[in-house]
């Protein structure tokens, strides 16, 4: 019986460590996103500067800008997928944690519900990522492409 309790305790510790690890991973994902966004912004600035100095043609500038926008779209999808994967993993670990609590104590905290989504920082990170993409897409269509054409 002691072996089963030891195993359950170790499993419980493991679950708590994994949940903590998922929280840390979320902030690493956000940091990587910020760095890549800055790099893409600097690349676009360079394209505009090269276009204004006539170092590259309009078609090359438009192609480079479109590629940068596509990279941002791929980055956005990747970040959202990573955040969703983290959320689903956390929910699974929370379910396992709850089962152990019921097994040991006979009761557990309330189960996580979808209404708690507004208390998770992953939700707000995902919303910001989506808003950044939407704002950037709008900026490319209505500001960057017309600016490139006016520089030629």
pLDDT above 70 as % of the chain = 99
Pair 69, 41: CB distance under 8 Å: no
What's the structural domain count of the chain?
1
What per-residue confidence (pLDDT) applies to 1? 59
CA geometry: angle 20, 73, 58, nearest 5 deg = 145
For residue 152, pLDDT beyond 90: no
pTM of the model: 0.88
Average pLDDT value for residue range 66-84? 98
At residue 128 the predicted structure's pLDDT band, cuts being 50, 70 and 90, is very high
Banded model confidence at residue 44, pLDDT cuts 50, 70, 90: very high
> In the prediction, which pLDDT does 2 show?
73
- Segment 61-65 long-range contacts (CB within 8 Å, at least 24 positions apart): 61/148, 61/151, 62/145, 62/148, 65/140, 65/144, 65/145, 65/148
Range of the domain at 117: 2-151
Longest dimension (CA), the chain: 80
Residues 6+ positions from 69 with CB-CB distance below 8 Å: 136, 137, 140
Mean pLDDT, range 18-47, rounded to an integer: 96
Count how many Cα atoms sit within 13 Å of the Cα of residue 52 in the half-sphere of its side chain.
Answer: 9
User: What average pLDDT is seen over the chain?
Assistant: 93
Residue 39 token pair: 């790099």
pLDDT classification of 6: cutoffs 50, 70, 90: confident
Q: Are 108 and 102 in contact (CB under 8 A)?
A: yes
Does residue 76 surpass a pLDDT of 80? yes
């Amino acid at each position: 019986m002691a072996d089963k309790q030891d195993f359950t305790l170790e499993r419980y510790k493991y679950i708590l460590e994994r949940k903590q690890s998922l929280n840390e991973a979320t902030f690493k994902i956000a940091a990587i996103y910020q760095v890549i966004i800055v790099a893409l912004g600097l690349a676009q600035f360079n394209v505009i500067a090269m276009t204004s100095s006539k170092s590259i043609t309009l078609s090359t500038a438009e192609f480079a800008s479109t590629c940068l926008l596509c990279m941002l779209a791929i980055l956005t999808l990747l970040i959202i997928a990573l955040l969703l994967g983290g959320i689903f993993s956390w929910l699974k670990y929370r379910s396992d944690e709850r089962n152990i609590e019921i097994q040991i104590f006979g009761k557990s905290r309330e189960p996580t519900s979808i209404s708690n989504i507004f208390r998770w920082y992953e939700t707000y990170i995902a919303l910001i990522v989506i808003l950044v993409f939407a704002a950037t897409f709008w900026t490319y269509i209505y500001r960057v492409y017309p600016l490139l054409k006016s520089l030629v």
